[in-house]
A and B are shown apart, each in its own frame.
Chain A
Amino acid sequence: MESILQTVDLTIGYGKPNRNHHLNKRRPTHSVASGLNLHLRAGEMVCLLGPNGAGKSTLMRTLAGLQPPLEGTVEIAGRDIRALTPSQLARLLAIVLTERIDVGNLCAYDLIALGRHPYTDWTGRFRIGDHAVVERALRAVQAWPLRWRPVNELSDGERQKVMIARALAQEPAILLLDEPTAFLDLPRRVEIMAMLHELTRATGCAILLSTHDLDLALRSADRLWLLEAGGVIHTGAPEELVLNGAFAAVFRGEGVEFDAEQGVFRLRRPHRGVAIVLGEGLHAFWTVRALQRLGFETQNRDAQERNGALEVRIVNLDGVSMWVTSNGRREQVHSSLTDLIESLVQVSSKEAP
């Protein structure tokens, strides 16, 4: 598919744009990333990931035309965004920002109606079609029942839906969202991401969102833009970036490592030895997770090295699960996973000097 947004040798950062060379001496430019050649296709959802301070927000602001590029261009629908009038740009691109806006006592409907700004005349008067667009936006984010509620009284999740609906009311071809799930609990995050994904499919609108939610981004994005701290950007399908190691490299940090087998980040804990889990199903899965959290290297039942390993057997007696641990010297029975974890934690604190 044709790309709706692309950047050509884009350099982002702060300071005056290079056109005003005479000003550069007083305010030196600080480039965050340079030589970016990115593109965004209609109908795809791209997640922008990167460690804090890598320049995600700067890139978003530059793409949105809120901040001039230091060098290079941002093109939307084949035209340099600096050549577009503000109103033309607003019909092509809408944003949802991280900062929580105090909108006074506007109700959700009025807030979303503000999104019709580029389409209405100087009085801001609505025509029939405008009402229909606002209604469609409300329904697209499943916020129809909220329409007359004051925005200040909405929960964070409801509020974010309304802010997204406001952007949709601009009927944009591109939607940029800066950390749209930052203040939400996990179920709301999943809901918002699923909703955004659906929007791209239903409307053909391209969505670029920055997030810290790596797991969710891996699972829902069509493509990822991985912005490294030095300003290098890796793009590709999420799975591709995991396979070629880019994902692990960008987020490598103190005490954290990316487990490419499970697709999750894991705290690097002091190694406490090997544990072998004997059991099946969900119980086994979460027992493994618990042991890994406590710093055990887990192996399955076929493990060759059993010497010195902690063996955890999950026994099911008449529907009641029990955990039997054995370290070769003595066996212990735990009636719950919590019990097991607590006894292992106690052992470790005794072992500690």
Chain B
Amino acid sequence: MSQPEVSWDSPATATFLHIEGEQRPGAATRRWVFVGLVGVLLIVFLLSISLGSVAIPLGDIGRVLLGGEAQKATWTTIVFHFRLPKALTAMLAGAALAVSGLQMQTLFRNPLAGPFVLGVSSGASLGVALVVLGVGAGSTSLLAGLGLLGNFGIAAAASIGAGAVMMAVLVLARRGHSSMTLLILGMLFGYATGGLVSILLYFAIGERIQSYLLWTFGSFGKVTWGQMAVFAPTILFALLIGVLMAKPLNALLLGEAYARSMGLNVNRARIGIVVSASVLAGVVTAFCGPIAFLGVAVPHLCRSLFNTSDHRLLLPGVSLLGAVLALLTDLIAHVPGSSITLPLNAVTSLVGAPVVAWVILRRRNLRQAFAG
């Protein structure tokens, strides 16, 4: 098409340009924060493999990770079959929840949005409850024994449940309902789900009830290598879609009207973000249970840490920080040196709630809290 003649190089606006060479303030700091986060992630990763009811020396861990044998055969088994998959699950789940939370906070322009708060986790719970309590006859534990097909079944049930809630929230959001309305509806949906699950529990047999309740406590330690073959690729794929959404998410920072005026296909972007966020939240919820607060808290911490709202920085940032915090909370939940295992959700709530409270109090009001 013929571009109309508008000159942006006229004498009045042409100037000596020198932004290229200019070092933006804070760029060096950000680079160091990134390097620091990667370092911390490595350290916490090794610690989480090393510490637990039995402490295993780092040298033996190195040998097992490189395909060798530890001094004691039991150590090899512990590292390879329990702690390594648990640590990988924690990292993936942490990154997934944080990215999902970031996406929803930007899409809904709401600082308290996240997988847990908007009822997406409740949707996933309902899906899983229907599969575990309603169908899945014959299996005593939630995931074990169901095999690959069962994993797909539960992950799909959770994802469909999460996706359905996200879509409902989106429809309401598009009709112009305020963020506060969405939050309240999300909470109400959570209560309604709770009611439905209670009814299912009432009619279910004891073992199923126990495995469902254990699932709601949250745990990174239930994913076996066989399940990892489903879990990891799904999460990585959804994370990839999430990263592809960095540019649309940046445009959405200004709201949908501006985003559209800048050439963003808002509907397509919204669908991409919803799909990515609900798959991330849904799959993590399916395999690890509804993990509280990580998704809401990590994006806020990350915005403060990097002092930016640019999703091209925030997406990798929240992935790293989410992985670190998930490993740390899991480490705390396992109370190193003891055989106690606390419910993971107890730890994430105790860590996450003060973080969110701090964010709100520091920013005086919710609108500013979104500014992180």
Chain A residues near B (Cβ < 8 Å): 2, 4, 42, 61, 64-66, 77-79, 85-95, 97, 99, 101-106, 109-110, 114-115, 117-118, 120, 122-124, 128, 131-136, 139-140, 148, 152, 170-173, 198, 201-205
Contact = CB atoms under 8 A, between A and B. Distances in A.
Which 3 residue pairs of A and B lie closest in terms of their CB atoms, listed nearest first? Answer: A104-B309, A90-B263, A202-B12
Given A93-B261, A104-B372, A42 B5 contact: yes
Given A102-B370, A105-B308, A171 B263 contact: no
Contact of B264 (A86, A170, A201): A86
A139 B10 CA distance: 13
Given A78-B2, A114-B251, 5 more contacts: A94-B261, A101-B258, A102-B368, A102-B370, A103-B309
B263 A104 contact: no
A50 B128 CA distance: 57
Contact of A101 (B10, B254, B265): B254
Given A102-B371, A117-B264, A124-B247, A131 B19 contact: yes
A133 B312 contact: no
A103 B261 contact: no
Given A102-B370, A117-B264, A140 B310 contact: no
Nearest to B310: A110
B110 to A, nearest CB: 11
Contacts of A42: 4-6
B306 to A, nearest CB: 9
Interface string B190-228: 000000000000000000000000000000000000000
Main secondary structure of the interface of B (DSSP, over half): loop
B260 A77 contact: no
Given A87-B263, A106-B253, A152-B371, A173 B308 contact: no
Interface of B: 1-8, 10-15, 17-20, 24-25, 109, 244, 246-247, 250-251, 253-255, 257-258, 260-265, 303, 307-310, 312, 367-368, 370-372
B262 A105 contact: no
B263 A117 contact: yes
Contacts of B6: 42, 171-173, 203-205
Given A105-B303, A114-B254, A173-B6, A128 B20 contact: yes
B13 A203 contact: yes
A120 B247 CA distance: 9
A139 B13 contact: yes
29 contacts: A42-B5, A65-B260, A66-B260, A77-B1, A88-B263, A90-B261, A92-B4, A95-B261, A102-B109, A102-B370, A103-B371, A104-B303, A104-B372, A106-B308, A109-B24, A117-B250, A117-B251, A124-B247, A131-B17, A131-B20, A132-B17, A135-B17, A135-B19, A148-B24, A172-B6, A173-B3, A202-B10, A202-B12, A203-B8
B336 to A, nearest CB: 37
A31 to B, nearest CB: 20
A308 B257 CA distance: 61
Given A114-B251, A203-B8, A66 B261 contact: yes
A123 B264 contact: no
Contact of A106 (B10, B247, B310, B312): B310
A77 B262 contact: no
A218 B183 CA distance: 46
A64 B261 contact: yes
Contact of B262 (A90, A133, A148, A173): A90
A86 B265 contact: yes
Contacts of A87: 263
A118 B4 contact: no
Contact of B257 (A4, A79, A97): A97
Nearest to A4: B4
A118 B247 CA distance: 11
A136 B17 contact: yes
Contacts of B17: 131-132, 135-136
